[in-house]
Chain A
Amino acid sequence: MTHLVRDVLDSQLLDRHDLEMGKVDGIVLELRAGGAPRVAAIETGLVPLARRFGLSLARRVERVIVERGLPVNPDLRIPWAKVKREGIEIRADVDAETSPAYACERWLRDRVIGRIPGA
């Protein structure tokens, strides 16, 4: 049995190549008429993280990221079907390197860190 808050929320997210791709910042439940709610996806990004402190903060964070075009991941949803629990980690069947989860990593690598000698 999986306990969503204990075992999934805030757990380390790994991609299919064992690359760390953030933590599980939010869990999306799907409410179905007449049926029990179903886990639809997990989320990682600054917006679900901000949402844990309130909806208005989350909206503000999202607006700033979009308006300024900041190179960070606002919100990446990974369908529950692509997610597997492995011990204390959560494995997602995606490629972190090309996903929005690595927006900031890629930007820093290409624009800043990668340009310093010895990187």
Chain B
Amino acid sequence: MKKIFEIALGVVTSVGGFLEVGSLATSAQAGAEYRFQLLWAVVLGTLCLTFLTEMSGRLAAVSGHTIPAAMRERFGFTFFLIPLTLVGLVSLLVLASEIGGVCLALQLATGIAFPWWASVVAFAVWLLLWKGTFGLIEYGVSLLGLITVAFVVAAVRLRPDIAELGRGLLPSLPRDDPAHYWYIAVSILGASITPYLFYFYSSGAVEDGWNESHLRLNRVVATLGMGFGGGLAAAVLIVAGLVFAPQSIRIESYEQVALILTPLGRAGFWLFVAALGIACFAAALEVTLAMAYMVAQGMGWNWGENVKPRRAARFCATYTVIVALAAVIVVTGVDPLKLTLLAMALTAATLPVAVVPFLFLMNDPFYVREHRNGWLGNGVVLAIILLASILAVVSIPLQIVGGS
């Protein structure tokens, strides 16, 4: 019975790692401009993510070590510095956009401009990490995150054309401005396959004390959790396609995205505000923890969200500094939508460094013993590495050519 509740790890990872400000923005933009034509990118991103999440959980359950720890241990400190720096910097931008997302939700609700909220939100994130346990964050976010199902309700109510949805599952070329189309496709993939998500999930498995008896559960949790997040992102895309595309609204600010749930009537606006606020807050918790985990585990420090702060002083100091830095970025008043899209494109650029280690770690008998990847797992990792390399090469040029 207790194991059923472990599903919360999958849901929290996916609400915070999937339906956060990045996927919300990229999916809404994709739907508004290309209707269902980019649905394939959401599905592809979800599939890749499910496999990598399952692997991170398996590594953690069998070895008791997380992905960042294993990267340092197997590839050495000189290699580890590369993902540490790249993923660290990009995650800081992602964190700033998540905090920005919560601030925007508060701005939409109160009318007070978002930079004013930055320090309040950052403090709330910090306080929850300081006082809370991993379980509290896990269950709290999973429960509150269910409000995001509003997007699925809206998508069903709008009765999308099933045949058109089906066509969206296959990649197709746009009529004009291919650079912009591919830019959004890359941003969707970047917003879905985020390295901090695996770091968080594998650390969560260690925090929750998983062992080899959790392997089957891990498979279920990864599939259901990521499927849940992917379904939500797809719902956002579908709703945006039906609400914005007919009026040819191009998404240029989050205030426009706020109208997405109008099919649900007057409550739609408030549902959107709540969903945006909760999903981004969850993501902010997740990114902050993921970065602190990455530093602490890479350096071999004592760490943990379930111990008192004084029992893991360096770990707590790390997340404190990270939250403060991200808050400073938000206070400067940088356009949150632009920041989000930039962070997602840069995430895509860092993917190869984050994914290549999976190929070696998931076949390393010292770490995963007999639970090594089969041909399917290795084939998928190879395919993701190929995809990630293409994304890494094209993401920054596309940002310049197709970004606006």
Chain A residues close to B by CB (< 8 Å): 5, 7, 9-13, 19-23, 25, 44, 49, 52-53, 87-88, 104-106, 108-109, 112-114, 116, 118-119
CA A23 – CA B303 in complex, angstroms?
Answer: 14
Check if B302 is an interface residue, CB within 8 A of chain A. yes
Question: Contacts A20-B301, A88-B65, A108-B317 given: A114-B310 contact, CB under 8 Å?
Answer: yes
Check if B76 is an interface residue, CB within 8 A of chain A. yes
Given A21-B302, A49-B77, A105-B313, 16 more pairs with CB closer than 8 A: A10-B74, A12-B73, A13-B300, A19-B302, A20-B302, A22-B301, A23-B72, A23-B300, A25-B77, A52-B76, A87-B366, A88-B63, A88-B73, A113-B317, A114-B313, A118-B130
Interface of B is mostly: helix
Question: Contacts A20-B303, A108-B317 given: A9-B76 contact, CB under 8 Å?
Answer: yes
Closest Cβ of chain B to A80, distance in Å, is 19
Residues of B within 8 A of A118 (CB): 130-131, 309
Contact with A along B180-202 (1 / 0, CB 8 A): 00000000000000000000000
Closest Cβ of chain B to A87, distance in Å, is 8
Residues of B within 8 A of A44 (CB): 300
A20: nearest residue on chain B (CB-CB)? B302
Chain B residues close to A by CB (< 8 Å): 63, 65, 69, 72-74, 76-78, 80, 130-131, 298-303, 308-310, 313-314, 316-317, 366-367
Question: Contacts A53-B78, A88-B366, A114-B310 given: A105-B72 contact, CB under 8 Å?
Answer: no
Question: Contacts A88-B63, A113-B317 given: A119-B72 contact, CB under 8 Å?
Answer: no
Residues of A within 8 A of B298 (CB): 23
Contacting pair B72 A109 (CB below 8 A): no
Residues of A within 8 A of B74 (CB): 10
